[in-house]
Structure 1
Amino acid sequence: MEFLLLIGCAVAPGIALMSFFYLRDSCDSEPLSLVGLLFFLGMLSTIPVMYFSDWVSQSIESPYARAFFSVALIEEFAKYILTVIFALRLREFDEEIDGIVYAVAASLGFATLENIIKALVLGWETVAIRAFFTVPGHALFAVTMGYYLGKAKFATNKQKRTLFFSFALFYPWLFHGTYDALLVSDHLYLIMLIIPFMIFLWIYGLRKIRHAQQRSPFEQLGGSAPDV
């Protein structure tokens, strides 16, 4: 019974966050089957990505370099590839905010299975911390990724499209790497910066969602949203 409860608590944050971000696309919601597919693909990627990340980590001495290059870069690149390959050309991907929904689905699929594995290995003490920080962090990194993938899909020229595709990987990598670098620090004051950093990610992410909502062709615009 305790085992099932542990699994349930490990899964709950991903499902709750997925529901929250899915409902932000209120004008033209994506089919649950496609969102579920991206979530499932994210889960399938978890174990190979974790093994590859651990293998790369063995050749990097600095914990800060590992945070950015053997964890953040590999994980975000995997989510980026999944979203580009399986979502970008979907007929249902017909507004910018759809990029956020699909990227968050892939990211939370990854984070949910990772959360289950960590909970089984480390026990209850890790569940609460990951529920409030790590799993939301994965979702918020993906908000930025999906925002710029949505802008890239509907960009009017090649130069903008290339720039937005670059931003879609660069910003999640930067945010994820910064998050992990703070966690592995030996200094308590740096570790405590996780709290204001998460607040920043929530504010930044919700702002990007609002911009994407305002640019939806299915919503009557009261004004123009910023392009970047």
Structure 2
Amino acid sequence: MELIVYALAPVAIVILYIYLKDKYEKEPKRLLLISFLLGAIVSIIITTILYGVFDLALPLTNSLSVWQQFVQAFFVVGFSEELSKYLIVLLFAQRHKAFNEPFDGIVYAVMVSMGFAATENIFYVMESGPSTALLRAFTAIPAHATFAILMGYFMGKAKFSSNRIILNLTGLCLAILFHGAYDFFLFIDFIPGIWVGAFISLFIALILSRKAIKKHQEISYFNIEEE
């Protein structure tokens, strides 16, 4: 039980942070919970299926080739995980009437992503212990959050734009890009010091995420002022 608390604590902190950043019109807690559960269950299932498909076509796991690890990071892990989250936001949250301002894209994308991260983190922490929980609290969990914020920023814009398809896919591709970059530098750990690239990519994603949150907050504020 203690390990589960360690695994879920950073997820709860991210959720609370985003919830408080949604200053002008809070989303229904029921929809937030459903989004979280869809991420925790459905997203994991979709990802597992996609992993299986890729594993049949591209059995890469044990390879040390830089190119193969690149494919693994971007086209297997990054694509599979972010697509699974994207589909839930696209097919469930974005269609809901409560999704009525651009910032909602960030809120729902983060909720789905934190659901995914919660399930994933429980498995890792139960297997490897408190030290893994501490490490992932400052790496994997913030990484999942930033990928979601970047995706949600564009999906929030898409809801109220005539270029919905382009903006939605932009959000997906940006999440895959940063997720892939983060994992790629960790996968090629046989190159000394290359892991630093993962934290550089995470740092850039964090900066962009803060800007995305601020920009959508400003849009929400001006919309309220106009009303």
TM (norm. structure 2) is 0.89
Q: State the match for 1:82 in structure 2.
A: 88
Q: State the match for 1:212 in structure 2.
A: 216
Measure the CA separation in 2 of the matches of 1:122 and 1:46: 23
CA displacement at 1:127 relative to structure 2: 1.1
* Amino acid across the alignment from 1:39: F
The answer as to whether partners of 1:213 and 1:219 remain within 8 angstroms in 2 is: no
SS of the residue corresponding to residue 225 of structure 2 reads: coil
CA RMSD of aligned residues (A): 1.6
SS of the residue corresponding to residue 84 of structure 2 reads: helix
* Amino acid across the alignment from 1:191: W
Written as runs of structure 1 = structure 2, the 5 A alignment for 1:106-125 is 106-125=112-131
- Number of matched pairs: 215
1:143 and 2:168 equivalent? no
Unaligned runs of 5+ in 2: 61-67
1:41 and 2:38 equivalent? yes
Q: State the match for 2:65 in structure 1.
A: none
CA displacement at 1:122 relative to structure 2: 2.0
Select 1:16's aligned residue among 5, 13, 16: 13
* Amino acid across the alignment from 1:166: L
Measure the CA separation in 2 of the matches of 1:126 and 1:57: 26
SS of the residue corresponding to residue 99 of structure 1 reads: helix
TM (norm. structure 1) is 0.89
* Amino acid across the alignment from 1:24: K
Aligned identity (percent) is: 34
SS of the residue corresponding to residue 139 of structure 2 reads: helix
CA displacement at 1:32 relative to structure 2: 1.2
Between 51-60 and 117-126, the greater mean CA deviation after superposition: 51-60
In structure 2, relative to structure 1, the CA distance for the partners of 1:166 and 1:51 (3 Å cut) is closer
